[in-house]
Amino acid sequence: MIHDWLKESNYTVIFTGAGMSTESGLPDFRSTGHGLWTKQDPSQIASTEALNNNIDAFIDFYQTRVQHVKEYQPHKGHHVLADWEQRGIIQSIITQNVDGFHQEAGNRLVAELHGTLQKLHCQSCGEKYNSHEYIDRDYYCHCGGILRPSIVLFGETLPQQDFQMALAEAEKAELFIALGSSLSVTPANQFPLIAKDNGARLVIVNREPTELDKFADQVIHGRQIGDVLEEWNSF
């Protein structure tokens, strides 16, 4: 049925969360038993508070994540989505992920709601750096300021350009497919509802139940995203 919806839809938007990248080897945040936030309190590590008052733990945590993003790569599910954009089967991706794997796989129209680990910027002067150049050294700018990943920390506002793009895409969607997100973090989790309110069909693919399942036209639990996308890829 969803394969038919994909064929019928003139405007399909994909929304992804950390579950999109676990098959690449990256941990997610809330998977029962092994998500990152089941072992650490995000407010102690992924917040401006941590950046200002717990800098060693902050740098340790993000140096590891930048290292992982450098070592791992997109999996078959990312490549299906890139192929679908090329062929006009989907129009865009709205992602909460900061690994850059959608762009690495070849997708061009990607709204990164929570920024990216691929870039760093200086806390003091704002100078931008490519995180891959700074993986093995102290995170300090030429000006002496602290370099931080260009991601959105808890308590910070989302990048306006990506937010506005995501809003426009959600409003245009005829089919909106959420992949690998618990849909528990605002304002990101509003986009599936905005799409639904604008007449889209909403599909949720997630190993575990999500907070928005009750609003979906179709929900798939207990399956690996890579397998589901491969199965749908029979155009």
Active site members: 114
125 annotated as ligand-binding: yes
What is the nearest approach in angstroms of ligand APR to the Cβ of residue 33?
10
16, amino acid identity = T
Are the CB atoms for 148 and 139 separated by under 8 Å?
A: yes
What is the nearest approach in angstroms of ligand APR to the Cβ of residue 136?
25
Who's near 19: CB < 8 A, 6+ residues apart? Answer: 28, 31, 179, 180, 181, 206, 207, 225
Residue 68 CA, chain-centre distance (Å), reads: 15
Nearer residue to ligand APR within complex by CB, 9 or 189? 189
What is the nearest approach in angstroms of ligand APR to the Cβ of residue 65?
11
Nearer residue to ligand APR within complex by CB, 141 or 152? 152
Q: Residue 84, interface with ligand APR (CB under 6 A)? A: no
Nearer residue to ligand APR within complex by CB, 18 or 195? 18
User: In the range 125-184, which residues lie near ligand APR by CB under 6 A?
Assistant: 180-182, 184
Q: Residue 185, interface with ligand APR (CB under 6 A)? A: yes
Report which of 92, 152, 71, 82 is spatially closest to residue 116, judged by C-alpha positions: 152
The position carrying tokens 């990312």 is 78
122 annotated as ligand-binding: yes
User: In the range 190-229, which residues lie near ligand APR by CB under 6 A?
Assistant: 206-208, 224-225
The rounded distance, in Å, linking the Cα atoms of 191 and 194 is: 5
- What are residue 175's DSSP bridge partners? 12, 201
Q: Residue 91, interface with ligand APR (CB under 6 A)? A: no
String marking each residue 23-52 x if it binds ligand APR according to CB under 6 A: x----xxxx---x------x----------
Q: Could you give the C-alpha distances from 80 to 4, 65, 100, 119, 149, in angstroms and in order? A: 17, 25, 16, 25, 28
**Distance linking the first and last C-alpha atoms of the chain:** 13
The rounded distance, in Å, linking the Cα atoms of 222 and 225 is: 9
Are the CB atoms for 220 and 14 separated by under 8 Å?
A: no
9, 19, 51, 203: which one contacts ligand APR (CB under 6 A)?
A: 19
> Which residues does the annotation place in the binding site?
18, 22, 29-30, 96, 98-99, 114, 122, 125, 141, 143, 181-182, 206, 225
Residues near ligand APR (CB under 6 A): 17-19, 22-23, 28-31, 35, 42, 96, 114, 180-182, 184-185, 206-208, 224-225
> Which residues does the annotation place in the binding site for nicotinamide?
29, 98-99
